[in-house]
Structure 1
């Protein structure tokens, strides 16, 4: 009972800090489905007019559903590439003693520390040379490459906590190194893989600079650039309630992902189990 009372100040502080965000999102939701008189904060009528982008092209850059599909492809492909590559690369860095291993590890963390914006001109020139500029696959490759250092370091940390005895026992029982990795080691690092998959997907979903600069055409646009177009295009009359509706539509998958995987996100620990 005493511990419950001790936690009350913390709960009260977190409630006060969270309240402005909750009120902001509540106003955004209300404004997206209502109209109000100019200068008034009180809604005067209920309407779905601000959600017309779902069935009508409001920007002149194509349907929002095309942008949504592109965003799912972009985020999903980025997460898949990062997870698949990080799983094998991190295992090699954790278990194999190959030449220049320490130099490679230092290089990976240095690459992760580099700001993306400082590389944008070089990336732009490379994509033009390869013929991948203004294509979705080009942006996916760039985003995955920039996320890989983080993914490799995360998975290496999980592999490092898996005891060698597990692998040695599997090899002594006649299993191949690949089977030992797949059957014995991989289940131990599953929490790290789940976390990396979720965070890589969310990172791709929220990416704005790379699609804006490297895929400016309407065929490869994602939801972040679709949303920004409402403010960047001077030919469009700014409808802030419409802008808020698109923003809610853009945030909805992130909210659903959090609700579906919140237990996994809350139970992430720093490595594999020793069982």
Structure 2
């Protein structure tokens, strides 16, 4: 994407020529992307397109084979662990906790990178528990939670970390319809309050309903990048996903609504 000087001033995250190779195969291939404050970007694409790998590189959890990543103007590799944890938070796909912590204790771990302030920390943790709808079982052992409950607990920890950059890898995968919408509304609110939020999603309609921008990946490259209306076209989706679709207008949200079509209909 092209940017003028004002745009560049807003960029909090930049990936330049980022490539990742595993067993000789390009998982990411020369990715150039910029991400701005106050935006929610959805990373979408078929299985194996490179979405989670891109998120891992951008968050500092994976070192690319080539290229560089800059966070808030500094090379990502130069960040120390504690300041980095105050700058960006990460919700990974695998958020299982294998020790007997309570839900509140896990959420409170989000405050560890910050200087201790018991009163403020307590208020922030309470707000995170409430927002993620886990306050009513705050005392439970996390090892006894369902998949959806564990996912919401991990999301609450991210909220408690209060960082200006937020990475969410498939945060809605284990959630019911109500909580899918709730998590994306909260993520949207973080962006509206000035955060840079980057979320991996499989549901194109969730992406359309909440994201300012969609980056669609295919085979480790950017296949499309723009607003939901620019990216979620029938031609682009069918080319990338190899699945017939209809793209309609959502009756209340005014965004694209993607519906799978039946390939047998043309037989």
Scaled to the shorter chain, the TM-score interval is under 0.3
Scaled by the length of structure 1, the TM-score of the pair is 0.22
Q: Which has the higher helix share?
A: 1
Larger radius of gyration: 1
Q: TM-score, structure 2 length as denominator?
A: 0.22
Q: Using CA pairs below 8 Å that are at least 6 residues apart, which structure has the higher relative contact order?
A: 1
